[in-house]
A and B are shown apart, each in its own frame.
Chain A
Amino acid sequence: MEDIAPKPLRIAAKASSKGEVAAMKKSQIRRQSLFSRVKETTIHIFLACNGYLSIILIALIFIFLFKEGLHAFQTIKLSQLIGNPSIDKEGRETLSFLWQPVGDHPKYSFLPLICGSFLVALPATILSTVIGIACGVYLAELASPRLREIVKPLIELLAGIPTVVIGFLALSVIATFVQNNLHTHFRLNAFVGALGVCIVIIPVIASMTDDALRAVPDDLREASYGLGATRWETLSRVVLPAGISGIAASVLLGMGRALGETMIVLMSTGNAAVFTANIFSSVRTMTATIASELGAVAHGSEQYYALFLVGSVLFTMTFIINFFAEMVVSRMRRKLRH
């Protein structure tokens, strides 16, 4: 402890009498010459420049993304983002929901992409919520402290696996497994993607649930035990309700991650922009659309701006979700402090 104690404190520890401290203060003040004042100001300005540069860079992302995205409206009408009027086989007029940016009549319906994103993200979030919360409960309430010290880092390690590796496994292992057991029509489908995405967001939910439950004061638990409740009754009726806002935030954050996940869905959902509610159909998410089309697009073309618009929509969605999660967490912190 001795050597990490900051120097002024060490000096203070050595200075036994009040007189010595006063003498030291005097010398410090005298030493604060013009040079030191210039140095202070320079450092202040340098750090401020860094701070503002970061803020500007971050603001640039917002501004640039939306500026390019809104460009799309110069040529694409808002109604076209929903569907295009077309004539079906029997000669009736209908709306076709297609994302076909290449061709003579490019179509930019966002519905299949948004639908694809949610078809992956919702099942993944639901499954991960169940497993993740159970995992968090285990970590916070059931595991012995020693076991917890081992299990929690391991679960967090799972979140550190590069998503491309998980996508690769989803593509080669999970897809085969699902097809052999469920006999799906498409080998790569939304369900396979959802299973892959689960691996990424379960650790997020588990870890945050654990934090939320451990923040619940022990008085509540003791009061419950005092009334004769069993461990599970205490857990399910006292501790979980008390930590519910933190858990809700973790689920929201998990959902944000699921919506924004790129590599796993790009590799394992089949990449067909279909407007469907069938979870075993090939789909294409917003993220995968950007990832698979950005490479071949010409700068300044209609499709280029349309992709930025997809990016803006995606950004807005995840931003709102994250914002709510953040709000819930900060409210919880404030409540626990009182």
Chain B
Amino acid sequence: MSLLKDLGHQVEEVYPDLDETEVFVNLVVVIAGHVAAKLEEIKTVFNRPVNKKTIELPNLALGAIGRKLSVVDLIRAKESWRVAGAAMGTLLTDYEMNLPGVSIFHYL
């Protein structure tokens, strides 16, 4: 922040009006669903094996989570993205730019 201020920017630490944990969980839900579908595609369309040798462990785990989720889980997660998008849109009516890397660091 100090570097940006030194460069002449007006910098403020602010937060959008949303539940950060909910946003993060819903992000994982959608990603897990996509990974599960991708692993299925690799097996059935490309006829390639899906195992620890061919897929990285975090993605095998995400795929397993995705298989346990329901269509309702996926749709609710995607709908929550619209809420988050609106919150970010509101925030950006007052600011010209945000630093998502800083936000991500905050979440983690």
Physical interaction between A and B: no
